[in-house]
Amino acid sequence: MAVTVQVSKLTHEGALKMLDAAVKKAEAMAVPQCIAIVDESCHLLAYARMDGAKVLSFDTATAKAKTSASSRQPTGKTPPEYELKMAIATGGKFANLKGGLPVIVNGQCLGGIGVGSGTGDQDVECAAAALAAIGAQTAF
């Protein structure tokens, strides 16, 4: 029986590369965003609030990143009847808003990215650009 396992980690450099790609996509769309990138343990690795992004989107972007990292799924797909229950069970940390994507490389979840301040679809578009920048899975 194995007592250890080999894992890959999202590096700070990788998180910054993702952040740069998301910012560039948001600029091209003319939609200022809050962008949060967390590791597999939901610890913040990189964050930016672009000029003009909504102040409270810090909270939603971070919650989206943590939710997608911990669930290994995009946010916004939980059935409505479970949404409040999940939020209560996680002390308000669960977000069911579009804009959170897991960072999956070679089948392993390395963390999550959450983007907020645009529409849900705009948030997802920026998050997907960040994933593409490091060769992570973009189809879910």
For 43-69, what is each residue's pLDDT tens digit? 999 999 999 999 999 999 999 999 999
pTM: 0.96
Determine the pLDDT at residue 8: 95
Per domain, the residue ranges of the chain are: 12-133
Residue whose C-alpha is closest to residue 102's, from 45, 42, 48: 42
Is residue 60 classed as helix, strand or coil in its secondary structure? helix
Query: So what's the architecture of 12-133 in CATH?
Result: 2-Layer Sandwich (3.30)
Confidence band (pLDDT; 50, 70, 90) for 82? Answer: very high
CA distance 119 to 121: 5
pLDDT tens digit sequence for 96-139: 999 999 999 999 999 999 999 999 999 999 999 999 999 999 99
Determine the pLDDT at residue 52: 98
| CB-CB contact of 111 with 40 (8 Å) | yes
